[in-house]
Amino acid sequence: MKYKSIQVSRHGGPEVLQVVEKDLRPPAAGEVRIKVLAAAVSRPDVTVRRGEALYSGTPLGQKLPFVPGYAVIGNVDAVGDGVREAVVGERVGALTVTGGYTEVLYWRSDRLIPVPAELDPVKAVPLILNYIVAYQVMHRSAKVKPGGTALIIGASGGIGTALLQLGQLAGLKMYALASKDKHDTLTQYGATPIDYRTQDFVEFIHQREPYGLDAVFDGMTGLNYIRGGLSLLKHGGRLVSYGEPAGFLVLFRVLWTLMMVNFLPNEKSFSLYGTSFYFLGDKQPFLDDWAALFHLLEEGKIKPIIARTFPILDAAQANVLLESGQVTGNIVLVAPELLSSATGSCS
């Protein structure tokens, strides 16, 4: 028997995403085989496809060929020898970094994420990457408190809209930076919108928050945004950047700025967030936070915006849409049996 995946054999644009056929095999010892129901389409997928990935958990210099795709949800349909963490039929997620654009995923059993079976996988898969980043940036890195003030730089994408929803739940007073056509979404979650094309966000916020902000969440990782955000922080304020810098020179300058801010006595902090800590450190905080997010989804307290869904094998079209800059929220690749019920489906 066979299954299909989306493979990158050379770096480039969406056109390098090609459908390949592979042999279905039994899972190895300590491994499970997952029938993928939903896979997220995210910005790191683009940077690793282009060969531009630098950090944030994305493998630097990913060996070709590879299957992109950072996060999936599916059902376990076979388990290898020695597997104790899952049984056949169980709903699970995986933070794959690469490998998610596939009909079938082979994955280590000790890196599975338990997912409540009653959740819609299309609505739940944004929690595996975009919402875990937003939740941990907000609560573990910035340690926000109700009534605090915050700026979200890059507020209309998958992580940005997650920050808006979680910030509203946390009782934050929010300012949000995005293009004018996305402002209706920002105001929906109680944020004051700022058009990054026509407005000076530093001047805008200085006029309204003369004592400064408690937190800045930066998804752009550009030096102008970082320096502007730092200038807006009050004493004790925190800037957390979770985006990917455009090249090594920018990364070097960002790291230099980080060192200067954190080692000089200015009473502000600047940190970089990456999902690599899930693989390199203690995974329990991640599992605890995913459980909390799934509970919020079950209760209807968060509702991921699903801009469009595509069949898994139409990942190239989904990447074209993501790179167009016209997306508010999330794009999800979906197994054929779920397409008819998926929000914003595209066949």
Spatial strand order in the sheet of 233-241: 192-195, 173-178, 149-153, 213-218, 233-241, 269-272
- Pairing verdict, β 104-108 and 31-41: antiparallel
- Other Cβ atoms less than 10 A from the Cβ of 239: the count is 29
DSSP E strand boundaries for 197-285: 213-218, 233-241, 269-272
Smallest Cα–Cα separation from 229: which of 215, 242, 245?
215
Are both 198 and 249 inside the same structural domain? yes
DSSP-assigned states of every residue in 103-153: SEEEEEGGG-EE--TTS-HHHHGGGTTHHHHHHHIIIIIS---TT-EEEEE
Q: What is the DSSP letter of 265?
A: S
Range 23-33 burial, b when 16+ CB lie within 10 A, else e: eeeebeeebbb
What is the pLDDT at residue 56? 42
Average pLDDT of the chain, as a whole number: 93
* Structure tokens given for 78: 């076979």
Q: Between 137 and 276, whose confidence is greater? A: 137
What is the pLDDT at residue 60? 47
What is the pLDDT at residue 72? 98
AA identity, residue 91: R
CATH number, position 116 = 3.90.180.10
Task: Assess if residue 297 is contained within a domain.
Answer: no
Per-residue pLDDT of 288-307, as tens digits, reads: 999 999 999 999 999 999 99
Task: Assess if residue 188 is contained within a domain.
Answer: yes
Confirm if 321 and 331 have CB atoms less than 8 A apart. yes
Smallest Cα–Cα separation from 137: which of 150, 126, 146, 121?
150
- Other Cβ atoms less than 10 A from the Cβ of 63: the count is 7
Smallest Cα–Cα separation from 90: which of 75, 104, 112?
75
Confirm if 227 and 268 have CB atoms less than 8 A apart. no
What is the pLDDT at residue 220? 87
Number of domains in the chain: 2
Task: Assess if residue 223 is contained within a domain.
Answer: yes
Res. 243: pLDDT tops 90: no
Are both 24 and 89 inside the same structural domain? yes
Strand, coil or helix: 292: helix
Are both 257 and 142 inside the same structural domain? yes
First CA to last CA across the chain, in angstroms? 25
Report the residue count for the chain. 347
Q: What angle do CA 70, 71, 74 make, to 5 degrees?
A: 145
DSSP E strand boundaries for the chain: 2-8, 17-23, 31-41, 71-79, 91-95, 104-108, 113-114, 149-153, 173-178, 192-195, 213-218, 233-241, 269-272, 306-311, 330-334
Q: Between 249 and 21, whose confidence is greater? A: 21
Task: Assess if residue 300 is contained within a domain.
Answer: no
Task: Assess if residue 298 is contained within a domain.
Answer: no
What is the pLDDT at residue 258? 83
Percent of the chain with pLDDT over 90: 82
Residues spanned by the domain of 220: 130-274
Specify the long-range contacts of residues 262-266, CB closer than 8 Å, at least 24 apart.
Answer: none
* Structure tokens given for 199: 């407005």
What is the pLDDT at residue 340? 64
Task: Assess if residue 117 is contained within a domain.
Answer: yes
* Residue at token pair 């997306």: 327
Task: Calculate mean pLDDT across residues 249-262.
Answer: 81
Per-residue pLDDT of 74-103, as tens digits, reads: 999 999 999 999 999 999 999 999 999 999
Are both 224 and 150 inside the same structural domain? yes
Are both 116 and 143 inside the same structural domain? no
Are both 309 and 270 inside the same structural domain? no
Query: 251, 274, 297: which is the final residue of a domain?
Result: 274
Query: How far is the C-alpha of 165 from the C-alpha of 302, rounded, in Å?
Result: 6
Strand, coil or helix: 247: coil
Rg (C-alpha) for the chain, rounded Å, is: 20
* Residue 260 banded pLDDT, cuts 50, 70, 90: confident
AA identity, residue 138: M
Sign of torsion over alpha carbons 231, 233, 235, 240: negative
CATH number, position 176 = 3.40.50.720
Task: Assess if residue 84 is contained within a domain.
Answer: yes
Query: 229, 259, 274: which is the final residue of a domain?
Result: 274
